[in-house]
Chain A
Amino acid sequence: MSLSVKNITKKYGDKLVVDNLSFEMSEPGVYALLGTNGAGKTTSLRIILGMLAKNSGEVLWEGKSIDVVNTNVGYLAEERGLYPKYSLMDQLMYFAKLKKVDKHTAMDRIKYWSDRLDVDEYIFPPKGKGRRASKSNQADQLSKGNQQKIQLMVALLSDPDLLIIDEPFSGLDPLNTDLFKSIIREEINKNKYLIMSSHQMPTIEEFCSDITILDRGKVKLQGNLSEIKKSYGRVNLIVKCEQDIASYISSFNLRIINKTPSEYHLRVQGEDEAMGFLAKLINDNITVIKFELREPSLHEIFVEKVGVDKDEE
């Protein structure tokens, strides 16, 4: 199986929303789509899902044009979508039926996932009388996090080959974030294809091997995350000393990225410059508590490529 996105372009009037986006997933894993708000991530995902018409380009799944009717796709949208007044069980069975999952299998999967996600009390509410009991299994009675869990169940009900998840951890507490992460890891281990869109850079670094950074519909950076980082080199230096080292930093002409009461976050030209700086500190009997030279984080790459102002938007 493979997913191939080739030169997709989408316009709304004169506005170019997605400009010639291409990427390929020849092996199972997680591909990340990053970008600021309005960069075209969700539109790209909708085009990949076949939900939205494109102006040009093609999306191929197993070498054939992707078709929502015949491709087993799971989707977790950024905004939750459940019928507020219908019973959760009815909704889950409906989505399963639309994905051609037979009733028995659907019921087994609902039981499994409701137990796993700890929402069985809402899907199989204890039998009781009265208005309160009859309403307890409706979506509008659930918290945002629990609605998110139901939504993930909907995405996984058909045991999809391709899973597209848009901001999967938004609105989740740390415990449930870990629960979602463990489920995503399981899907990766089952050799599934995942496309993830998120603003949480550490999460992307945790799961994704390949990335595309979008800015106003245009591809700003694309490729394997490790290689991208390697290409930047180890230029990030974090130094913590007992004495103040401001004069040493200025004498070496190093750029201060960030300063906390105890640490300096510096940008160096390369390892030689960093080692020279360390040697000078040791020579002058400065007590070095922490000296860390590393590649830039995804967050730093993102900010550099897209710009601080846009990120804050």
Chain B
Amino acid sequence: MKSNITGWKEVYSFTLSQVLKSKAYLISYFLLVLIVLVSMPVTSKLLFNNAEDENAPSPVNTIYINNMTSLTDIDFEDIKNIDSFSHIEFKTMNSDYDSLVERISDKEKSSAILDIREENGAYNLHLSMVKEGPINRSQLQRLGDAILSEFTSTRMELLGVSGEQLVLLQTPIVSKVTMTDISQDAIVDENTAISFSEYWFVYGILFFVLMANMLTGTQVATSIVTEKSTRVVEYLLITVKPLALMIGKVFAMMTAALIQMLSMVLALFVSNKISATYSPDSNSLLSQLLPSDLFGNINITNMFLCIILVFLGLLFYAVLAGLAGATVSRLEELNEGLTLFTLSSLVGVYIGLGAASALMGSGVNAFVVFAFLFPFSSPFVLPGAILVGKASLLLTGIAIVLQLVFIVLLFIFVSRVYETLILHNGNTIKIKQLFQISKNSKSVPGTSPR
């Protein structure tokens, strides 16, 4: 085995240095990092530049109330206790609705009409304004919210409900059904479902791993086909064994992809920090969009486990891509050759996505556990699940062991077929032929080096 991989370090360092020097890599690297770097400050600026000061006086000066309900004593004077609405004058509508609308449209563009009706056992509050007036939709919405709140309070007061009673009435009710065993100890069913934010967090990590995986896989396959089509491989094979060539390449491409991805993560953090300068309350964009308890499970152990899982996943798929690359002879046939790699990745991604959705809907179930353990899907979904605290250490350990077993099996298979494939020139090798080669690599129909 030692002599089979002798020289992989030289292959690794040469491949990595050439990839890092290549224009395509450098351009895509700087472009992606730049996009990530400016994305959050720009988003923050767009979000918060248009945000209005909630304490600024509302542009509404007068509200005409058309109360058509039985609650005749209702008034909205308490709204004036809010600074931004203190100047608003509430008037009962005396004229007919149409002539009032006409008057507001012509002369009183800073006025609004509040129409209150009682229909089908429900109260209907309709606040309307002139379309071309100084009041925009968000300002009117804020006013509407205040009016609704005031209406609810006043209605309760009119019904004899005190403020304290109202608070009690509005207290949320959390229900929990438990079973007890014979000793009367409660058997608590732990809620393992994830929130909507956590789902997007898991999805984000899945997408991130998918990107790194596709980047590494296609680069490994392209590099191998290039060496085959340019015949460089013949010169390499007099010094290094095919397995050493592939290992060197796989690790080099993984390193290049990881440098790119980690730089993007770093740029994301920097970008998030910069975004705070555009926020009125100096909070970063992520801290405003994501719940604060989302990052509770991000610690060194979990990060370490995630890195191992992602690394093993990339390794698994990169070896698969290397195998796929060796089955074709020309670059234009690469897409056909990559079918096995693409299909496996898609299966892994879709199982991962399904598991993330199931995790949000019903928590950890048999399918989710399968997705966590299945080596095709575990690199995509398990890192996210670990970071939101939904994967136990035991489950993670088993997933890592299974991943290692799959990688070893794949390596054994690859080492049996790669030597024949690497010199093959001709039609794309089919999966059936691959298994034939693994049985007897010395004589398989249709696989000749020339």
Tell me if A13 counts as interface (CB < 8 A to partner B). Answer: yes
Given contacts A82-B232, A95-B235, contact A11 B423 (CB under 8 A): no
Tell me if B295 counts as interface (CB < 8 A to partner A). Answer: no
A83–B230 CB distance below 8 A: yes
Residues in B whose Cβ lies below 8 Å from that of A49: 237-238
Residues from 44 to 77 in A contacting B, C-beta threshold 8 Å: 46, 49-55, 67-70, 73, 75, 77
Residues in A whose Cβ lies below 8 Å from that of B240: 68-69, 98
B18–A90 CB distance below 8 A: yes
Instruction: Count contacts on A: residues with CB < 8 A to the other chain.
Output: 40
Docked Cα-Cα span, A121 to B358, in Å, equals: 64
The digit string for B10-50, where 1 denotes a CB below 8 A from any CB of A, is 11001001100010000000000000000000000000000
Residues from 238 to 258 in A contacting B, C-beta threshold 8 Å: none
User: Max chain B CB contacts within 10 Å: which of A17, A68, A151?
Assistant: A68
B241–A69 CB distance below 8 A: yes
Pick out which of these stretches binds chain A: B72-80, B382-390, B438-446.
Answer: B438-446
B224 to chain A, nearest CB (A): 13
Tell me if A86 counts as interface (CB < 8 A to partner B). Answer: yes
Residue of B nearest to A98 (CB): B239
For B449, give its contact among A43, A70, A83, A98 (CB under 8 Å).
Answer: A43
Tell me if A277 counts as interface (CB < 8 A to partner B). Answer: no
B10–A68 CB distance below 8 A: no
B71 to chain A, nearest CB (A): 81
Residue of A nearest to B22 (CB): A85
B231–A69 CB distance below 8 A: no
Residues in B whose Cβ lies below 8 Å from that of A270: none
Given contacts A51-B237, A69-B6, contact A83 B423 (CB under 8 A): no
A52–B423 CB distance below 8 A: yes
Instruction: Count contacts on B: residues with CB < 8 A to the other chain.
Output: 36
Residues in A whose Cβ lies below 8 Å from that of B420: 53
Tell me if A14 counts as interface (CB < 8 A to partner B). Answer: yes
Number of A-B contacts (CB under 8 A): 95
Given contacts A69-B239, A86-B18, A98-B239, contact A13 B446 (CB under 8 A): yes
Given contacts A81-B232, A90-B18, contact A67 B442 (CB under 8 A): no
B444–A67 CB distance below 8 A: no
Residues in A whose Cβ lies below 8 Å from that of B232: 81-83
Tell me if B450 counts as interface (CB < 8 A to partner A). Answer: yes
B443–A13 CB distance below 8 A: yes
Residues in A whose Cβ lies below 8 Å from that of B441: 53
B234–A75 CB distance below 8 A: yes
Docked Cα-Cα span, A17 to B443, in Å, equals: 11
The digit string for A136-150, where 1 denotes a CB below 8 A from any CB of B, is 000000000000000
Tell me if A80 counts as interface (CB < 8 A to partner B). Answer: yes
For A94, give its contact among B10, B442, B443 (CB under 8 Å).
Answer: B10
Tell me if B365 counts as interface (CB < 8 A to partner A). Answer: no
Docked Cα-Cα span, A83 to B22, in Å, equals: 13
16 contacts between A and B (CB under 8 A): A12-B444, A12-B445, A17-B448, A46-B234, A50-B238, A51-B238, A52-B449, A53-B419, A53-B441, A68-B240, A73-B238, A77-B234, A77-B235, A82-B232, A90-B14, A154-B235
For the complex of A and B, the 5 pairs showing the least CB-CB separation, nearest first, are A13-B445, A81-B231, A98-B239, A81-B232, A12-B448
